[in-house]
Amino acid sequence: MAIVVQTLSRSKTILAQQLVQSSSAVIGRGFYSDIRIDDPYVCDQHLSIAVDDDKRIWIADKGSLNGMKVNGKSINQASVGPEDVITIGQSHFRVFVASQAIAPTKKLNPLDTSLESISKKRYFAILMSLFIGFALLEGYFNTFTELEYSILLSNVLSGLIALCIAPLFIGLLSILNKKEAHFITQFNLVLIGMLAISIIGYFAHFINFNLNSPTVISLLETLIFWLMLSLGFWLMLYVAFHQSNGKRALITASFVAFIVCIQLLPTLFNDRDYVELPPIDASIMNPSALITSSSSTQAFMSDAQGLFDSASDNDQN
């Protein structure tokens, strides 16, 4: 019968694990102990462990100076299982039999395989070039003076630095948690997200240019942005930490709620907020992109009737 002893940190994460191939053992600071704990508050032979015929583990204090605690309660002798935390001196550990049943093995899911596949460096290179290309193009389209390529490039590069913050931060956190950083995957996820947001932005501009409904489209665009943000952040957490699904969902929800609050709070609960300027977003683009037909002056004027009614209605607010 083998016994497993897991040394734990104060926050119950496993620091070390030892296997004793016997049905009894002694834990202490002495060098002849089966499990040696280098803690000045632990005695030479502090406690003994024994497995009975029913495969239950019994622990007993061997007359130590500082005693022992099981789940925070001082006790001299106890039967313990894999859930109980034993404290002697300032050290914590669990003791259980090695034949203890474990959770069934998880099958690798398709998400893991796809995440594995985007961790390739060549994808990173492709995505990074695409991102820089897009950013340069956007800078080019929005410059109406003579183009200064050096300024354009420096703007794009400073944008890139800002973009590095999230993957580096999460990668470092996962290293601190003794997990692999997966920097390339994290970067690729962020780049895919940014590219998707740009493309959706262009698409929304195109749709608005043709359908002339800026309010609905910008609302949809914002919703899609929040959705993408949730998805991206969830995936980054999935790659970085082996959290439970519930915990990951909770962290993602709190993060996205925080961002949504930052965006909405200035207007949502502010009664004094008043927009003086006409909120015109014509979304004009290259006229070749116009695929819908035009209205006549009369049609435009008859649509305008409703504006007067809604302006009169909302003056009560």
Q: Of the ranges 87-95, 225-233, 256-264, 272-280, which one interacts with another protein (CB under 8 A)?
A: 272-280
Residue 277 near another protein by CB under 8 A: yes
d(CA 112, CA 116): 6
Type of residue found at 253: A
Choose one: 63-71, 98-106, 253-261, 297-305; the region binding another protein (CB under 8 A). Answer: 297-305
Stretch that binds another protein, among 25-33, 64-72, 123-131, 295-303 (CB under 8 A): 295-303
Q: Tell the smallest beta-carbon distance from residue 283 to another protein (Å).
A: 7
* Whole-number Cα distances in Å, 14 to 10, 28, 55, 166, 214: 10, 19, 23, 28, 55
3-state secondary structure of 16: strand
Contacts of residue 124, Cβ cutoff 8 Å, sequence gap at least 6: 184, 187, 188, 191
Binding part of the chain for another protein, among 58-66, 97-105, 237-245, 298-306 by CB under 8 A, reads 298-306
Q: Does 154 contact another protein by CB under 8 A? A: no
DSSP per residue, 91-153: EEEEEEETT---PPPPPPPHHHHHHHHTT-HHHHHHHHHHHHHHHHHHHHHT--S---HHHHH
- Round to whole Å and give the CA distance between 33 and 25: 8
Q: Which of 10, 11, 146, 267 binds another protein (CB under 8 A)?
A: 146
* Binding of another protein by 281 (CB under 8 A): yes
Q: Is residue 291 a contact point for another protein (CB under 8 A)?
A: no
Q: CA nearest 47: which of 56, 30, 55?
A: 30
Q: Is 269 in the site for another protein (CB under 8 A)?
A: no
Looking at 75, 130, 214, 220, which residue binds another protein (CB under 8 A)?
214
**Cα 157 to Cα 131: distance, rounded to the nearest angstrom:** 11
Give least dist CB 282 to another protein, A. Answer: 5
From 14, 264, 268, 284, residue interacting with another protein (rule: CB under 8 A): 284
Q: Tell me the torsion sign for CA atoms 194, 164, 124, 182.
A: negative
Least Å from the CB of residue 151 to another protein:
15
Q: Does 212 interact with another protein (rule: CB under 8 A)?
A: yes
In the bound state with another protein, the residue whose beta carbon lies nearer, of 104 and 287, is 287
What are the residues binding another protein (CB under 8 A)?
140-146, 209, 212-214, 272, 274-288, 290, 292-301, 303-308, 310-312, 314-315, 317
